Amino acid sequence: MFSIKKLSALMLLIVSFIIVSCSEDNSTSSNTNKDYFPTTVGSYWKFLTYELDSMSIRIPGTEDTTLEKIVGTETLFGKNAIIYVSSYSKDTGTDTTYFAEEGTKVYTLLSLFNNDFIPIEQGNQWVQIADFSLSPGNQWTILNDTTLATVDIPPDIGVSGKMTPTISIKGRRGENTTFTIKGKPVNATEFIITFGMVIKLNVSGMPMPINLNFNVVTHIWFGEGIGIVRRQTDPFSINVIIQNFKFNGSRDELIDYSIK
């Protein structure tokens, strides 16, 4: 029998893939815009990371630190990629992310749902995540509405059926602001990435399909002469029938850095 508990497990699985994809969007780099994001090999940035509740307030006990370091460059999918490696104080593993620049535009290599759970053609592609020539409020499309192949709901969720996701990603230039980094004021430029998801669930035992429609919004702030000084994924919720599923947000605050 289908239950709210099983649906909750499915929601957590779906959102985990969204957060991973958005996190790959969250960092940027640009050789052209050195005043906003230095790209010298050996440079590093250390962040305090923590979760946010539904009011975007820090949740005690969720703190971690992340160290991001530029380790090299290579040609990848037609662009000169800058290679970032991230390590964590609470995890022995590392993550590798790729960035590139063309003029005032910044790109990241997006591995969008490139897995057995939700396959997509050409899942590895460069996408624009920033443009320093834009004025506040200007927008651009990163990924148009794309309906993916219908796939089986993973069996470990405890229910059977089919799911059809439709995704879109849009970017927008935010406002300028000032942060205090290592005791000094830093001018920062904001970019906002909105990841839209519509999922149609056909669950065995349910007389009608379940349609899920929600957005995940990520903010990125670039500081002059430093690079990324803050990232934030806003908390969000998903309404399913009479149940509301809430998901925490997250924030990364720069606490130390070294530009080579």
pLDDT digits (tens, 9 = 90+) for 166-222: 888 899 999 999 999 999 999 999 999 998 988 888 888 888 888 888 898 999 999
The sign one gets for the Cα dihedral 227, 87, 96, 140 is: negative
Which domains can be identified in the chain, with CATH numbers? 4-258 (2.40.360)
Strand-pairing partners, residue 71, are: none
pLDDT digits (tens, 9 = 90+) for 87-145: 999 888 898 989 988 888 888 887 654 444 444 555 578 888 889 999 999 999 988 88
